[in-house]
Structure 1
Amino acid sequence: MASDRQQRPEGASEDWTIAQGWEDYSAADHAMWDRLFARQAKMLPGRAAPEFLAGLDILRLSKPGIPNFDELNERLMKATGWQVVAVPGLVPDDVFFDHLANRRFVSGNFIRTPEQLDYLQEPDIFHDVFGHVPLLANPVFADYMESYGKGGQRSLAYGGLDNLARLYWYTVEFGLIDTADGLRIYGAGIVSSYGESRFALDDPSPHRIGFDLERLMQTEYRIDDYQQSYFVIDSFEQLLDRTLRTDFAPLYAKLAGAAAHSTDSLLPEDRIFTRGTQDYARSRAVAA
């Protein structure tokens, strides 16, 4: 939800928040949420991390219709001290980080149209709330997100924003986790996407690589299609511990002089879960 946009929209507060306007949603808006929810809820058991599925239950997101943030926040605050706040779209980086550092997750308050069922460029309330918020009910992941926000505030002074954005992308948005029952998805960009929920686990095309903080922060990513590589954490505790114990300042300095790894790269030191064929990416390139 961060961007380089700097002009605060009319009607937004100093922190860029707005009223959710729950009473303004139409019957069609609520029906779209229900349609998206039913489709994902049916396919995610056995695919999504147990912590994500538990969050759906804790927050009672299966209740019909678009969640009312006032009701949702009562349950979320009780679980981990987080809350969801509505914003009018992408917000500046410093605003985004400040909200995360103070346990506030920013969410768009609009929902996609039927024509945007499977893809839209700017995240809507389904992506933000269904995709992100269930894991905020998990204490360890909730701490990671707060830590990320505080780290983001520090990154602005070190010129490390691009590298830190890759950490968010490959964990919060498109992360996989290794469990006793096999790989599972937890990134919001995957769990909220019908197509990528299947692709990320089942398709032979992408690489699936063990989590390594420096390697990940040096790797480019796709914003226009399914990922060519996914990074796999061993646990949410590993993710939190690795980021809390790292002094990012020298890491930013090191990465500033290093070339980025391509989205389909494999390195000799990588811990490889799946060596992908990259057939999907090649077929898309030919089609273009």
Structure 2
Amino acid sequence: MEPLPNAPAGHGLAAGDAAAPARADWVIDQGYDAYTEAEHATWRTLFERQRKLLPGRACDEFVRGMQDLPIAPDRIPDFRALSAVLRARTGWEVVAVPGLVPDAVFFEHLANRRFPAGNFIRRADQLDYLEEPDVFHDVFGHVPMLMNPQIADFLQAYGQGGLRAQGLGTLAQLARVYWYTIEFGLVREHGGLRLYGAGIASSFTETVFALEDDSPNRIRFELERVMRTRYRIDDFQETYFVIDSFDALLALARIDFGPLYERALAAPEHAPGDVLPDDTVLTRGTGRHARQRQQP
């Protein structure tokens, strides 16, 4: 089981879980000088095993973003240094938060080109399991793709759309778009499939599972289909949706979601592992992993 990404619609901090920080936007100081050598060593372990695993599996834009950012293999990155490079490239910055934040705060940050990242790192005995996103998931997984102008624009539009969706009562439908793209998305590239979703890129085991295991479905991304599809928050995904290019994501930012919400709310929902007659199926999975997890 892998770290739970910071996705909205039920995955923000519930009221009463923790006291809100002093600032309304939940931003805190990263506390960079307070990181211990043990915490830097945990970063180094996580970084090194992903570095060996991602070549040929991560998309070119992820690799390029990682190369262009001040992300070192042996030290937790300083958000100030990351933000200086991001602002110059795409106008984004990374702000520290104590963990999961309320949905409204999350959307407000994205709408203003601020990416909220947890300032803590998992313990050495939590390398493959964490209940909320830490600095490795948020920075290693998400930040390299913010160097891509298309992803940068899409995420800002997503934040703006999230604020609207809250008022319309359609947050669950919009959250699925984020989940199946920014967190667990695949893209066609070099005649095959590559990952760009942070939930995959930051996970040692799901990197291989998403691309190479025979268990999950891999289906061409179709917006209304995704809006009606539930997802797994406690295990590997049963279905991964594949975009043809990052231009396809940017095109979503220009769509009026209002009519789509109406149709999605009126139509039945799909289970995470469903394959529909009109799906463009790239790989029909065996469902083996999900069945094994359901066994007593």
Residue 238 of structure 2 is matched in structure 1 by: 228
1:273 aligns with one of 267, 282, 285: 282
In the alignment, is the contact (CA less than 8 A) between 2:173 and 2:227 conserved in 1?
Answer: yes
- Tell me whether 1:247 sits opposite 2:251 in the alignment: no
SS at match of 1:266: coil
Q: Is the 8 A contact 1:56 1:62 kept in 2?
A: no
Q: Distance in 2 between matches of 1:47 and 1:11?
A: 38
Does 2:196 correspond to 1:186? yes
1:245 Cα offset (Å): 3.2
Q: Please, which runs of 5 or more residues in structure 2 have no aligned partner?
A: 1-5
Residue in structure 2 matched with residue 211 of structure 1 by the alignment: 221
**Pair 1:109-2:119 in alignment:** yes
Q: In percent, how many aligned pairs have the same letter? A: 55
* Alignment-derived partner of residue 53 in structure 2: 43
So what's the TM-score if we normalise by structure 1? 0.96
Return the alpha-carbon distance in structure 1 between the equivalents of residues 98 and 22 of structure 2. Answer: 8
Q: Distance in 2 between matches of 1:139 and 1:109?
A: 25
| TM-score normalised over the length of structure 2 | 0.94
Change (3 A) 1:11 1:152: closer
Shift of 1:14: 1.6
1:173 is aligned, of 170, 173, 183, to 183
Whole-Å separation in 2 of the counterparts to 1:12 and 1:105: 19
Q: List runs of 5+ in structure 1 lacking aligned partners.
A: none
Give the total of aligned pairs: 286
Amino acid paired to 1:96: F
TM-aligned CA deviation for residue 283 of structure 1: 1.2
Deviations 1:3-26 (A, max 9, x none): 153467354312110000001000
Partner Cα distance (2:20, 2:271) in 1: 40
Q: Deviations over 1:237-281 (max 9, x none)?
A: 11111x123211121122112221011101111011101010111
Tell whether the 8 Å contact from 1:9 to 1:88 is kept in structure 2 after alignment. no
Q: SS of the residue aligned with 1:85? A: strand
Aligned counterpart in structure 1 of residue 147 of structure 2, from 137, 151, 156 = 137
> Which amino acid is the alignment partner of residue 234 of structure 1?
D
In structure 1, distance between residues paired with 2:258 and 2:167: 9
- SS of 2:142's equivalent? helix
Q: Secondary structure at the match of 2:237?
A: coil
State the match for 2:3 in structure 1: none
Q: Counterparts of 1:200 and 1:11 in 2: how far apart (Å)?
A: 36
**One-letter amino acid matched to 1:22:** Y
Q: In 2, Cα distance between the equivalents of 1:76 and 1:259?
A: 41
Q: Distance in 2 between matches of 1:244 and 1:104?
A: 17
Task: Indicate the residue corresponding to 2:272 in structure 1.
Answer: 263
Q: Structure with the greater relative contact order (CA < 8 A, sep ≥ 6): 1 or 2? A: 2
Residue 64 of structure 1 and its aligned partner are, at CA, apart by: 2.4
Question: Aligned with 1:91: secondary structure?
Answer: coil
1:40-189 matched pairs, under 5 angstroms: 40-189=50-199
Task: Output the aligned Cα RMSD.
Answer: 1.3
- Give yes or no for contact 2:87–2:93 (8 Å, CA) kept in 1: yes
Which whole-Å CA distance do the structure 2 matches of 1:205 and 1:164 have between them?
Answer: 26
